[in-house]
Structure 1
Amino acid sequence: MHRRSRRTADPQLDRRSFLAAAGAVTTAAGLGLAVGPGGGRAAANPADPTPQAVATAEGAAEAAAPTGAGTTLASVAAPRGTGGYRRLGAGPGWPRVVRSELAEGRSGREDRRTVLASFVQFTDLHLTDVQHPLRYEFFRSGEAGAWRPHEALTLPGVVSLVERVNKVRRGPVTGAPFRFVVTTGDNGDENAKIEAEWFLTALSGGRMNPQTGDPKHYEGVQNSNLKLYWHPDSALRDQDKQLGYPRIDGYLAAACRTVTSPGLNIPWYSTFGNHDLLSGGCYPAAGSFIAEVCVGGRKLQYIPPAEAKWLMEGETAGADPKGARIRDMLNKHRREMRTVTPDPRRVPLTPRQYAALHLEPRFTGRGPVGHGYTRENLDSGNLYYTFRVAEKVIGISIDSTDPGGHYQGSLGTAQLNWLDRTLAQHKDEYALVFSHHPSWSMNNTTPDPARPQEARHGGDEILALLQRHNNVLAWINGHSHRNRIRPRGSFWEIATASHIDYPQLARIIEITDNHDGTISLFTTLIESAAPYRTDFHDLSQTGLASLYRELAFNAPGNDTTLSGTPTDRNTELLLNRR
C-alpha cells in the first residue's frame, strides 16, 4: 500500500498517515569515499570529484554571502481564500529557532564557527506507477485519505525539487556549497523496477516515461467511472469534485507524458525504505504471489468499506506481515477486476537487484558509482554502508526495513553489531546516521525469512547504542512524513516530512564547529522550485509540478500537522563536543 507513511505515533486508523508508511564543506576533503557493509577501509571511488576539482568548482560559491533565498526562511506556500478547494500563494517564511536542550549557545559563535558539513536530505519521494495492477487505491472506500488524488504527478514533482537544490546550491547559514544529497528511503512506492529506474533517473538526469502498460491509453482508477476517485478529464460528479476539485481537460494525457530531469548537480547517496522492498510498504513482494499480480493484467479498483477498514486495521497492527489477507481478498474479488495491459517492468526487486540498479553506469550522474552501494552489497545482500561526509565526519546509512513484512522498522542483530563496530572504529570522527525509519517507528519483530533465528531490534535499543558513542551528532530519517526533531541526550534525532504529502519538503543540514566546545546543526527546509500559483490550463512539466503541490494541500484526509511546530522546522541545534 502506498498509504501515506502512517502516523506511527498515533494508533488510530488514518489512511493518509497510514499510507505514508505502508558531504561536507571543507575544500580539502574528498567526497564519496565508500566503505562496504563490512565496515572496512575506505576506498576512493573513481567517479568522485577530486578535492582539487571540488575546490576549483566551488570557489566562487564559497565566496558568496549566505542567503535564505529559495528556502522556507524566505517564503512558504500558503492557502488563499476559503472553500473546499483552496488555491496557494506565497506566504511568510518560517523563522529559525535556537534549541539549547543539549547545550547552551555562547555569544559570538557566529564569528568563530567553521563548517564541517553542508548537504541536503530528500525523503519519501514515493515515485509512483499509478497504473500498477496492485496498488491499494481501493482502501479509499474505508478512509478518504487512503488514496492521493495528486499521485500521478510524482515525477514532475521530484524534478522540481531537484531543480530547487541545483538553484540554491549552498547552505543559507554558512554559504558553504552542498556537497551531496542523501535520500532516506521510500524512493519509489510499490517496489516496482520501473519506479526504481525513475528514482535513479530523476536524481542522475534523463528522461522518464510514466506511461506504463498500454503505451497509448491510461489504465488507472482516474478513468474508472467510480465516484470514489477524482476524474479530472470527466464530467463525472465524483467525491473529490463535490469537495471543490476542478475539472482539468487533458490532465491524464499530460500526466502520462515524458518527464525530463536535469539531475542533481552534486553527488548523491541512497538509503532503503519499506516501500522500496515491500508491496504497499507492507508485504514481501519478490518471489511471492504478489509478484505475479504486479506483472499481470488484472487490477482491482474497489472493495466494500467494511472490508477496507478491516484490512487497514490489520496492517496497522502488523497482523498480516506475509499478506495472506491480501491474497484472500484478491481471490475473492477476481471477477470484479479490470483488465489492464501487463508490463514486465513492474516486477518487484530483491535487495540485491535494487543495489545492482544503482551500480548501472546509466544512473551514475554526478556520482559516486552506486550512490553508496558497492559490489560488496551485491554479494552480501546487505543494504547498509558508510561514506565519507567530510574530513572529520563519517556518514552511516543503515537499512531499517524488515524483510519479513510490516511497515514498521527494526534492525537484525548482525546489522546492529556492525553499527556498533563501525561507530567504535570511527571514534575519533563525528558520525551522522541515516535511516528510513525513526526511532518511534521501529518496533517490528517479524523474523527476516533469510535469517529466521536472528533477533530484531527496535528504536529504544538503537537509541541506547548511539548514546554509548559520543561521536554521534545526529540520527537523520523520514518515514513518518512529518517534521520532528528530538533531543536524544548526546545527539539529535531529525525526521523530515515527505515530498509526496503536503507540505512536500526536503531539508538542508549544515554543521559547524563553534570553537567553544559546542557544535551547531542548522536545519532549513526547502520546497520544490515550482511556482506557488497554479494555472489549470498550464499542463507543462512546471505547471504540473505546481499543481502537484496544490492538489496535495487539498487532498481529502490530509494531515495538517505534518509540517511540525517551529522547533521542528528551521533550527539551530546545539551540542556539547570536545
Structure 2
Amino acid sequence: MRHPGPRRRAVLAAAGASAAALGLGGALGSRGASGSPGVPAPAAPSPAVARTGPGPGPSAAPPRGGTTLTSVSVPDGDGPYRRLTDGAPWRPVVRTELARAGSARIRRRTPLAGFVQFTDLHLVDVQHPLRYEFLRTQTQSAWRPQEALSTAGAVALVERVNALPGGPVTGMPLSFVITTGDNTDNNAQAELEWFLTAMSGGRITPDTGAPGTYEGVQNSGLRTYWQPDSALRDTDKARGFPRIEGFLQAALRSVTSPGLALPWYATVGNHDALPGGCFAASGGPHGFLADFAVGDRKLMELPDADGARMWRAVRKGLDPKGADFAELLRTQRRRMRTVTPDPARAPVTAEAYLRALRNPRWRGSGPLGHGYTERQLETGELYYAFRVADGVMGYSLDTTRRDGHYAGRISQRQLRWLERQLERHRDAYALVFSHHTSTTTPEGGDQLLDLLKRTPHAVAWINGHSHRNRITPHGTLWEVSTASHIDFPQLARVIELVDNRDGTLSLLTTLIEASAPARVERSDVSQTGLASLYRELAANAPGRRMDLAGEAGDRNAELVLRKP
C-alpha cells in the first residue's frame, strides 16, 4: 500500500490545470473550409500515402499484403492457453441480398472512395479508481488480462494503416481513417490524451498516479486477476497464463506513435462520454464520481452478492446516474487500496472533448478538429457532416446518452438535422457513421433506419459497439458493424466504395490486424513485442466471446446494392 496523497478536493481543483496542460481547454482553431456551411472538406492525404488516378486497372494485382486476405492470427497447439500463429486467410464473400452481382462488374468498376474504420479501441488507464474490475466474476468485460497493453496495440494498428499501399481490392488511394467510438475506456483526460497522441503522433506514457509505479489489480495479490510478475497461483495461471517478470514495468513504459499518415475523423462512444461507459456525470465536475476518479482509493474486490446486484443494475440500466454505484463506493472504503491521486484521471465533459479535438497540438494529418468545427463548440452537438470524396458524403452521429446507460439513443433534433443534410446533399452517396448499431439503439434507432431506407442515395450505416463483425442488409442499404480492437481478434476494417457501371454499387470490406507479428518471444518487451502479446492475451482471455469474428459474410465481403 502507498501512503495517501493530497485530499481529493484539492486534486479536483488541480484538474483544471491538468486539462489546460492537455489542451482540453485550449485555443480554438479556424473553421474548416467547405462547400456547405459547417461541413469540413476532406484533408489531403499525406504524400507518403496519396496516389493519383482512379486506381489500377483490372490487370493490376491489388495490394492485399497486411490484410486478412493474406493471413489471420489464430491459436496454435493444444491446452487452455495457446500461442498464436499465422493462419489461413479469410476469403472474400460476395453478398447479393440487395442486388445481383453482374459478371462484368470487376473489369468495369470505377473506384469512388476508400477509407479505414477503427472502432472500440478502448485505450485503458488500468489504474483508474472508477474501474469496476471487481465485477470480473460477473462479466468478462469488467476486466481483461490484455488491457494494460492497449496503447501498444493501438500504435501497432496505426503502423499497419500507414503501411497499406492502397485499397486491398481496388488499389485506390485511401483517403482517411474514421473512428466509430469508445476510443477511450473510462471517460478520463489521460486516456483522451493517449488516444489523440496515438492517432496524431507522439510519445505516450500509459501511466497515471505515481510515475513508474503500478497501483492496480495486477499486483494486488488477489487470485481473481492475473498477477504476471508474481509466482502466485492465481486463477488465470491455473488456466495456463504465464509468469512474465517485468510485465507491469514494461506496460507502463512509453510507446511512440508515428501518427496516422492519413487524415482522421472521430465519432463519440458511450465510454468516451460517460464514466464507466454507463453513468451520467452526476453532480458535474465536482460530483462524487468525479471526486473519486482523481482520489486516493481504489476498490478491487467485492462480495459476489454485492457484485451481482451491481452488474444487474448496470446491465439493465437501473442506475443511470450512478447513485447506487456511488453509495457502494462509500460503504466499501475498508476494502479499498490506497493509491496515488492524479488530476489527469478527471472525467471529460462534452465541451472539453470538443476543445481537445480542436486543439492544433493534435491536428496530426488533419483536419483540424477531426470533423468537429466551431459550430459544434457553439452548439455542444457532437455530430457533423463531412465530404468523403467527389459525390460521397459522410455523417458522423452521436448516439450516446448523457443521462446514463450504455445503450444508444438518437435524438429527434439530430434526426431532423440528418434529414436536412441528406436532402441538401441528395446528389451524393451517403455513408452514416455512429457508435451504436441498429439493434443497440432502442431510442431512435428504428427511426434512423427508416430515414436511411427511404433515402435512395444512402449506401451504408457503419458502426461498432457490439465488438463483433456483423453485416446486415436493410432493403436498400447495408449496415456494417465491425469488431473492436480490444477483444480478440482485434480488427479494423478497410472499406472501398465502387461504381460497377451496370446499375449497381459495391462496398468492398476487408479486415486488417495490427502490424505486430502473431508471435514473438515472451522475453520481447519491446513496443512491438508488447503489441503482439496484447493480441495473444486477448485470444486467451477467460470467458471471452467466441463469436466476435462473425461469419464469413461478415468479414471480407463484397456488398452489392442497386444505384439510386
When normalised by structure 2's length, the TM-score is 0.91
Assess, with a 3 A threshold, how the Cα gap between structure 1 residues 571 and 296 changes in structure 2: closer, same or farther: same
Question: What is the aligned partner in structure 2 of residue 184 from structure 1?
Answer: 180
| 8 Å Cα contact 2:187/2:272 also seen in 1 | yes
| 8 Å Cα contact 2:494/2:510 also seen in 1 | yes
Tell me the secondary structure at the aligned position of residue 135 of structure 1: coil
Deviation at 1:42, TM superposition (A): 3.8
Question: What is the aligned partner in structure 1 of residue 360 from structure 2?
Answer: 361
- Asked if 1:544 is matched to 2:530, the reply is yes
Deviation at 1:266, TM superposition (A): 0.7
- How far, CA to CA, are the matches of 2:110 and 2:312 in structure 1? 50
- Kindly report which structure 2 residues correspond to 1:74-223, keeping only aligned pairs within 5 A, or say none: 74-223=70-219
- Kindly report which structure 2 residues correspond to 1:242-321, keeping only aligned pairs within 5 A, or say none: 242-285=238-281, 286-287=284-285, 288-321=287-320
- How far, CA to CA, are the matches of 1:145 and 1:85 in structure 2? 19
Q: How many residues align?
A: 528
| 8 Å Cα contact 1:162/1:264 also seen in 2 | yes
Question: What is the aligned partner in structure 1 of residue 498 from structure 2?
Answer: 512
Question: What is the aligned partner in structure 1 of residue 478 from structure 2?
Answer: 492
- How far, CA to CA, are the matches of 2:472 and 2:450 in structure 1? 15
| 8 Å Cα contact 2:32/2:38 also seen in 1 | no
| Counterpart among 37, 42, 52 of residue 40 in structure 1 | 37
Deviation at 1:420, TM superposition (A): 1.0
Identity within the alignment, % = 57
Q: Which residue identity is paired with 1:49?
A: A
Deviation at 1:545, TM superposition (A): 0.3
Question: What's the CA shift string for 1:86-134, capped at 9, x where partnerless?
Answer: 0100000001000000000111111111111100000000000001111
- How far, CA to CA, are the matches of 1:116 and 1:344 in structure 2? 46
Tell me the secondary structure at the aligned position of residue 123 of structure 2: coil
Deviation at 1:33, TM superposition (A): 6.4
Tell me the secondary structure at the aligned position of residue 572 of structure 1: strand
| 8 Å Cα contact 2:48/2:261 also seen in 1 | no
Assess, with a 3 A threshold, how the Cα gap between structure 1 residues 333 and 463 changes in structure 2: closer, same or farther: same
| 8 Å Cα contact 2:98/2:475 also seen in 1 | yes
Gaps of 5+ in 1: 1-31, 444-456
Tell me the secondary structure at the aligned position of residue 524 of structure 1: strand
- Kindly report which structure 2 residues correspond to 1:466-477, keeping only aligned pairs within 5 A, or say none: 466-477=452-463
Question: What is the aligned partner in structure 2 of residue 416 from structure 1?
Answer: 415
- How far, CA to CA, are the matches of 1:187 and 1:56 in structure 2? 24
- How far, CA to CA, are the matches of 1:34 and 1:395 in structure 2? 15
| 8 Å Cα contact 1:78/1:91 also seen in 2 | yes
| 8 Å Cα contact 1:531/1:546 also seen in 2 | yes
| Counterpart among 34, 45, 51 of residue 58 in structure 1 | 51
Q: What is the CA RMSD across the aligned residues, in angstroms?
A: 1.9
Assess, with a 3 A threshold, how the Cα gap between structure 1 residues 489 and 400 changes in structure 2: closer, same or farther: same
Tell me the secondary structure at the aligned position of residue 120 of structure 1: strand
- How far, CA to CA, are the matches of 1:518 and 1:147 in structure 2? 45
Further displaced range: 281-290 or 461-470: 281-290
| 8 Å Cα contact 1:282/1:315 also seen in 2 | yes
Deviation at 1:142, TM superposition (A): 2.9
Question: What is the aligned partner in structure 2 of residue 553 from structure 1?
Answer: 539
| 8 Å Cα contact 1:521/1:573 also seen in 2 | yes
Deviation at 1:477, TM superposition (A): 0.1
- How far, CA to CA, are the matches of 2:150 and 2:494 in structure 1? 21
Assess, with a 3 A threshold, how the Cα gap between structure 1 residues 496 and 57 changes in structure 2: closer, same or farther: closer
Tell me the secondary structure at the aligned position of residue 505 of structure 2: strand
| Counterpart among 462, 467, 472 of residue 481 in structure 1 | 467
Question: What's the CA shift string for 1:136-189, capped at 9, x where partnerless?
Answer: 101013345531011000000000001111111311111011110000000000
- Asked if 1:465 is matched to 2:451, the reply is yes
Q: Which residue identity is paired with 1:40?
A: P
Question: What is the aligned partner in structure 2 of residue 340 from structure 1?
Answer: 339
Question: What's the CA shift string for 1:217-247, capped at 9, x where partnerless?
Answer: 1101101111111110001111100100000
| 8 Å Cα contact 1:352/1:377 also seen in 2 | no
- Asked if 1:568 is matched to 2:561, the reply is no
| 8 Å Cα contact 1:142/1:306 also seen in 2 | no
Question: What's the CA shift string for 1:340-368, capped at 9, x where partnerless?
Answer: 11111111111111011011111000000
Q: Which runs of 4+ in 1 moved over 6 A?
A: 32-36, 53-56
Assess, with a 3 A threshold, how the Cα gap between structure 1 residues 273 and 56 changes in structure 2: closer, same or farther: closer
Gaps of 5+ in 2: 1-30
